Amino acid sequence: MTKGEPDSQHICSNIMATFGASAQSVYSVTPKERDPYQYQVGFGNRFASEAIPGTLPYAQNNPQKAKYDLYTEGLNGTPFATPRKENQSCWLYRIRPSVAHQGFTSLPDNPDLESCFLPLNPKVHTSPTQLAWYPFNIPSDDEKLDFVSGLKTIAGNGDPTLREGLAVHIYAATESMGKKAFCNSDGDFLILPQQGRLDIQTELGRLMVRPGELVVIQRGIKYKVGLPDGPSRGYVLEIFGSHFELPELGPLGTHGLANVRDFESPVASFDIDQSPWEIIYKMTGKQFVCKQEHTPFDVVAWWGNYVPYKYAMEKFAFVGSIEKDHIDPSIFCVLTAKSKTPGVPLADFLIFGGRWDVATGTFRPPYYHRNCATEMMGLIYGDYGGRSDEFAPGGFSYENGFCPHGVSYDEFKKATEAELVPGRVHEGTLAFMFETGMQVTLTDYAMKRSGKLHEHEPKMWDNLKGQFVNHIDQINADLKAAGLPSLGTQF
């Protein structure tokens, strides 16, 4: 040590004198009273999770012999050669591999479950007008229906064999799935409970999902659904061919709408259970049962980005006009899925909840319009006014592409005469929209068997008269002042 140079002990003591604290683990969401599970945060992350520390192999994916004699299993949600930024996969280290099963047996068709939405299918229908459904019934306790057997299809587009399309389902269940799991080979499920929480156990961990939250479970992942609050009802958007992603923010910049940190994925959690189980597979809309002598929920550790996630919709960062006019409703988009046509979404998921409306000199409700997209709406809770259909939680509405729509005359009159001051709208309400650039057909169940169908009442717009003709004198005076002929004058 040269003269004047501080010794290492002195340096260390100076460092310790300024030290604050270091994180002891990565950030995670801790359990709560009505959600006992822990979550990792982020969207599209390549997570790593171990229920037993040290289980993941060091610096490789497929060791000759995995720790604790676990089996290595790969799960791919995209083709191997998909570009890296879009590639989705996961490595699982489990007690028994999925191939340890006793074969597949076809199950009877569920007549209320549909997968082919092409017009050549006689079980689907087209409607040019607005349609709506009163809240769908929750079965009585005597009807033993779990999440899978309680699925009923309302509408859709395409077909899972084409690897492009979507399906809209409702579910109404009275019992948990017990020793039964579900694996959807057709598409990704976006699930929205409307009544009752869903306790979802997946291969990659557990999620508790309440009304007001969404959960996405991707194609090919096995899971079971429990009903901790008793009978449950909700909505499902299924997409064939692509996966959900966050919409681009454009000039909004880096943050806004659904922020990346607010999405939550499970941590590894496993059971030790060598008893009989059934796995229900859905493939091209048909169902098969696969029996095995062990639980499918035996993954001790995993890493990857093909992982279920949930999102609490009250966290959505709404944006809007702070001066005048409307911004397009795409500002309410939480998640989107691409179609094969550039720039055309296969599906958008939008929400409408409590927020400020401050635009001046503006017709504030949704303006009258004809949209090339098909719009389908549901209500989780609250009241979404201005509609004629007694739109209530658990109900649904449908407007096909270019079907004209907008608020009732009463809402129009109120909006054109009200004093425009800053105010809250849709307080205590959560409505959502499934929107698609595709043409959508409706199922036999929706049109013939649900018992809840009704058309929108067109009389809600009868009083939207041609008020223009009440101003003929003023119009002619304005035309004369501009040096133009009056109305009705022939050249």
User: DSSP characters for 188-252?
Assistant: EEEEEEEES-EEEEETTEEEEE-TTEEEEE-TT-EEEEE-TTSSEEEEEEEEESS-EEPPP-GGG
* Least confident range of 95-104, 325-334, 343-352, 382-391: 382-391
3-class SS of residue 22: coil
| Structure token pair of residue 202 | 């997946």
| Structure token pair of residue 280 | 């229900």
DSSP character for 107?
P
Q: What are the tens digits of pLDDT across the range 249-262?
A: 999 999 999 999 99
Q: Dihedral (C-alpha) 387, 391, 395, 399: value to the nearest 10 degrees?
A: 0
3-class SS of residue 467: helix
Q: Are 332 and 352 contacting, i.e. CB atoms less than 8 angstroms apart?
A: yes
Helix residue ranges, H only, 44-159: none
Please, what's the largest Cα pairwise distance for the chain?
106
The yes-or-no verdict on residue 406 having pLDDT over 90 is no
Q: What are phi and psi of 468, to 5 degrees?
A: -55, -40
Of 315, 310, 332, the C-alpha closest to 431 is 332
**What is the separation of C-alpha 341 from the centre of its chain, rounded to a whole number of angstroms?**
21
Q: What are the tens digits of pLDDT across the range 432-448?
A: 999 999 999 999 999 99
**Which residues lie below 8 Å from residue 94, measured CB to CB, with a gap of 6+?**
70, 71, 73, 203, 270, 298, 299, 300
User: pTM (2 decimals)?
Assistant: 0.94
Strands 277-283 and 180-184: parallel
Quote the pLDDT of residue 274: 96
The yes-or-no verdict on residue 1 having pLDDT over 60 is no
Q: What are the tens digits of pLDDT across the range 45-66?
A: 999 999 999 999 999 999 999 9
Distance CA 171, CA 78 (A): 28
As a whole-number percent, the residues of the chain with pLDDT over 90 amount to 84
Q: What are the tens digits of pLDDT across the range 170-187?
A: 999 999 999 999 999 999
Q: What are phi and psi of 348, to 5 degrees?
A: -120, 140
Quote the pLDDT of residue 4: 62
The yes-or-no verdict on residue 449 having pLDDT over 70 is yes
* Least confident range of 233-242, 364-373, 426-435, 436-445: 364-373
Quote the pLDDT of residue 384: 86
Quote the pLDDT of residue 12: 59
- Which long-range contacts (C-beta less than 8 Å, at least 24 apart) are formed by 31-38? 34/197, 34/208, 34/210, 35/208, 35/210, 36/208, 37/205, 37/206, 37/207, 37/208, 37/266, 37/267, 37/269, 38/267
Q: What are the tens digits of pLDDT across the range 368-392?
A: 989 899 999 999 999 987 555 678 9
Q: Which helix (H) or strand (E) holds 409?
A: helix 409-417
Q: Dihedral (C-alpha) 378, 380, 382, 384: value to the nearest 10 degrees?
A: -20
From residue 471, give the alpha-carbon distance in Å to each of 23, 260, 303, 391, 463.
71, 53, 69, 36, 17
